[in-house]
Structure 1
């Protein structure tokens, strides 16, 4: 179905070799359970609606992601895409805006044309009903053509201030009638003030069921959920020593080399504490400190994450360091001191008050304009003393840009005299001899939503726990 702007229950996983290519080669039972969760429905037609289709997020991320999934045959067989925005564009103009980010090869041109024929565009207002009625007409055309109820996926690539109005319109005009599913993807909302967060969270909970709301946390879509669960509970070596008796400290570090956030920070649109510390780093902390869940279903995993967050003790000002970066001559860089309360670096010591972690400091740090862009977890084990010699073991888990697990230890150098040297054991998921490419976070996100899996997404009570440590 190709329509211009004029408006003129879970299934089984198909035996698709492509789906298996993206899985990490960890052959343990817990890994297989995670990989096989959920299912993609190839029987029903699907309509994916991108609100904010003319914005940078849609052009640079969402449409290119949908193209790659379509190219690799990882989407449901029957799927159509609808862009929705207030901008006066044709479908051709919209396509020209995102095609360069799709990186279409010469041999893929014909396939890209087939992808574009599945796309439509609606110019409409976000606070008026006419555009949403037009959207529902498109869904009705798809449904009539297939003679089967349509599954609907709505992606809100919009500022959080527009979520209430848009979701209210979706609820009134565009939802299914109970014979298929409707799912709403909302982008990160943790940068809002507490009052705005509560209002928005309550609104979404009133409008939709929990299994209809998919809150995006892009860190959780970077394979870290299966990585941590497999590492912890699929390896007896770490599971037995993952406690206060063996671990001295845990450092969770986020570094951003770019200073592109300067202008937004000055205007109050970027907050490293709300956007990074409370939203992303606390999520990683909950995965590091998690107890073994009753099962690998999304709610059981998230129940254990919430228990960790609730066990975090009060964070005092003595445990927090804040800073703003400066130029070499000491003046404020890009006018940051216009807002003296807007840090560009933050570090906090977090303590978990339970039997496993009592007394172990979790050090969370995040900063912009750093020496590199990276996200990593460093688990430092307690030293072992043998006479005058002290040996240490450190486990490093790389989340970005490289998915790695590195175990740093001491080994003996062969020779006449007993000498010790540092050594490393490495697992690199992005090694050069790997035949298949790894999934991008947005690709994993869409696959999870199509399958109905929420294990990599954030639940409302997780957000509530994170907010209470910020305000």
Structure 2
């Protein structure tokens, strides 16, 4: 990166600096940016944590996180010492006014030492209950006043329903300008997610067919093998619909469905995303069961190991009715997508870890080939793979070698690691650098956050009133409840299996055949 592209001098303040998010994601990402030369010469990370936390203990804790989660692996002595010289720690009781005055004094001291004004980033890596007191504390200490240089970063969950999101927006909007507020969703920092727009809008062969005339349906799948792990306290109050679909999956849907922006200005891009959310068809309460399915995993076998059910997980109510699986069918009612269903599903303790967007095209209007040539025919499909591998795959029909006419599906594929011969940067690296540069393209605006909640609020309301009687209704290690298969089957469609895993198996088989043939 050139020096001109680096951010201006920056002080990055992390509230909850000794917490899990800072340890696993934020500090390792900032360290990687530092190692790669993306940070300005004048930068400081100010961690704020509980009283009685010693700075030496804090730094040792951070180093353990960097050793485990940095792209660069275990830091060398010189590299770590250089990085640590930019770290500081402030003990504080965040419910007391003095904490924010002490922070203000510390930021003024740093800027005085630098002889330069700095971009001030306030990152709230804290539970939702602390958002209001911290935001108000910053405002009372006048740390929100530099409108062009002070930024506040809010992690998900952004509210727990539509009304709480509106309330949080009112609070933030009263104390900060909208351009100062960065509502972060780490999914939008992933390379393949960002590449959706590049793939669509930079390639003349795809954008003309990106509509209802050529696309049959779209599936967005986020499957996890893990259970709730250490997140039982949070997850049991949230569930799959709030935790994943309201933010991650709807954001991906917006990128797939949005119209081309006139420019790549952050507000222009976000305007197009909001248009998509407003175009999503309302779901009447009486029809929620036709558009949404929920599930909760019971005990089962995963990779030869027996795992407990959700209700047996730590910090989970033994009689919990929280869903760990959700599948939703949505329609975007506009000229481009009218009548094309978007199927979104996510779940924990499923058969595999996979995140991908599958775009299935309509069949050809007239089948020229004889039926015997089409025994293995499958629909054309474009797959945008987000994890565990990152890439784009296109499935199409080809004549199988030989004297007879037989069509078979084949895969054209692109993988980031193979094409660029390097590991994609972590999503948080991209997003943190954008925050420092004041680029809000990948962050949710207030109206976007509320519109996303508006899409799922009817489902939340009905599910709250009609409590499930069949939980748990799928075993760990399966692909979810039977009702989810019914949801898509009644439309004459099926859920796609992880295409990228199938592709990897095909590649392995090809290699075996090549060895045998030689």
TM-score by length of 1: 0.86
* Corresponding residue of 2:463: none
Question: 1:466, 1:396 → 2: CA distance?
Answer: 24
Instruction: Label 1:263 to 1:444 Cα distance change in 2 as closer, same or farther (>3 A).
Output: closer
**Distance in 2 (alpha carbons) for counterparts of 1:372 and 1:391:** 23
1:334 aligns with 2:302: no
1:40 alignment counterpart: 6
The answer to whether residue 428 in structure 2 is matched with residue 442 in structure 1 is yes
Equivalent residue number for residue 440 of structure 2: 454
Q: Deviations over 1:209-229 (max 9, x none)?
A: 111111110110112453111
- 1:334 is paired with a residue of what secondary structure? helix
The verdict on how the C-alpha distance between 1:176 and 1:355 changes in structure 2, with shifts beyond 3 A counting, is closer
Other-structure match for 2:340: 360
- Counterpart residue number, 1:426: 413
Measured at CA, do residues 285 and 180 of structure 1 come closer, stay the same or move farther in structure 2, by a change above 3 Å?
Answer: closer
Greater alpha carbon shift after TM alignment, 228-237 vs 330-339: 330-339
CA shift at 1:254, angstroms? 0.6
> Is the counterpart of residue 51 in structure 1 residue 15 in structure 2?
yes
- Tell me, in whole angstroms, the C-alpha distance in 2 between the residues paired with 1:259 and 1:324: 11
Offset, 1:396: 0.3
Matched-pair contact (CA < 8 Å) for 1:266–1:339: no
Equivalent position to 2:111, from 140, 143, 147: 143
Query: TM (normalized to structure 2)?
Result: 0.79
State the secondary structure of the residue aligned to 1:125: coil
2:323 maps to which of 319, 322, 343: 343
Shift of 1:177: 5.3
From the superposition, tell whether residues 380 and 134 of structure 1 become closer, same or farther in structure 2 (CA, over 3 Å). Answer: same
CA contact (8 A) 2:10 2:118 kept: yes
Structure 1: unaligned runs, 5 residues or longer:
1-12, 17-38
Aligned pairs for 1:3-402 (under 5 A) are: 14-15=2-3, 39-42=5-8, 45-103=9-67, 108-173=76-141, 175=143, 178=146, 181-190=149-158, 192-261=160-229, 264=232, 268-315=236-283, 316-317=287-288, 318-328=290-300, 333-335=310-312, 338-339=318-319, 341-384=321-364, 385-386=367-368, 387-388=370-371, 389=374, 392-402=379-389
Measured in 2, the distance between the counterparts of 1:253 and 1:428 equals 19
**Residues 10-64 of structure 1 deviation map (CA, whole Å, 9 limit, x = unaligned):** xxx8357xxxxxxxxxxxxxxxxxxxxxx5334xx32111100111111222112
In the aligned structure 2, how far is the partner of 1:239 from the partner of 1:350? 22
Using the TM superposition, give the Cα deviation of residue 77 of structure 1 relative to its aligned residue in structure 2, in angstroms: 1.6
Given that 2:295 and 2:324 are in contact with CA atoms closer than 8 Å, whether structure 1 keeps it comes out as yes
* Equivalent residues of 2:51, 2:93 under 8 A apart: no
CA distance in 2 between partners of 1:341 and 1:157 (Å): 28
Deviations 1:221-258 (A, max 9, x none): 11245311111111121111111111111000010110
In 1, the alpha carbon distance for the partners of 2:327 and 2:170 equals 31
1:149–1:180 CA contact under 8 A, matched in 2: no
How far apart are the structure 1 equivalents of 2:82 and 2:317?
A: 51
1:245-301 alpha-carbon deviations (Å, 9 max, x no partner): 111110000101101258627973331101101111111111101111111111111
* CA-to-aligned-CA distance 1:161-199 (integer Å, 9 cap, x gap): 111110111122252654860111110124613332221
Helix, strand or coil for the counterpart of 1:84?
strand
For 1:455 and 1:267, how far apart are their aligned partners in 2? 28
Taking a change above 3 Å as real, the CA distance of residues 169 and 368 of structure 1, as seen in their structure-2 partners, is same
- Aligned pair in 2 of structure 1 residues 62, 328: CA closer, same or farther (>3 Å)? closer
Relative to structure 2, which stretch is displaced further, 187-196 or 275-284? 187-196
Q: State how far apart, in whole Å, the 1-side matches of 2:79 and 2:363 are.
A: 57
Distance change in 2, residues 1:150/1:247 (3 Å): same
Partners of 1:151 and 1:178 lie apart in 2 by 9
Change in Cα spacing, 1:107 to 1:123, as seen in structure 2 (3 Å) is closer
Q: What CA distance in whole angstroms lies between the structure 1 residues aligned with 2:184 and 2:56?
A: 29
Contact kept, 8 Å, 1:250 with 1:380, in 2: the verdict is yes
Give the whole-Å Cα distance in 2 for the aligned partners of 1:423 and 1:105. Answer: 38
RMSD over equivalenced CA pairs, Å: 2.4
Note if contact 2:396-2:411 (Cα within 8 Å) is conserved in structure 1. yes
Deviation at residue 414 of structure 1 after TM alignment? 2.7
Unaligned 5+ segments in structure 2 are 302-306, 458-518
Tell me the CA shift for residue 470 of structure 1.
2.1
2 CA distance for matches of 1:107 and 1:311?
48
SS of the residue corresponding to residue 269 of structure 1 reads helix
Identify the structure with the greater helix proportion.
Answer: 2
Distance 1:267 1:219 in 2: 18
**In 2, distance between residues paired with 1:183 and 1:276?**
25
Looking at structure 2, the residues matched to 290 and 438 of structure 1 have their Cα atoms a distance apart, in angstroms, of 25
What corresponds to 1:3 in structure 2? none
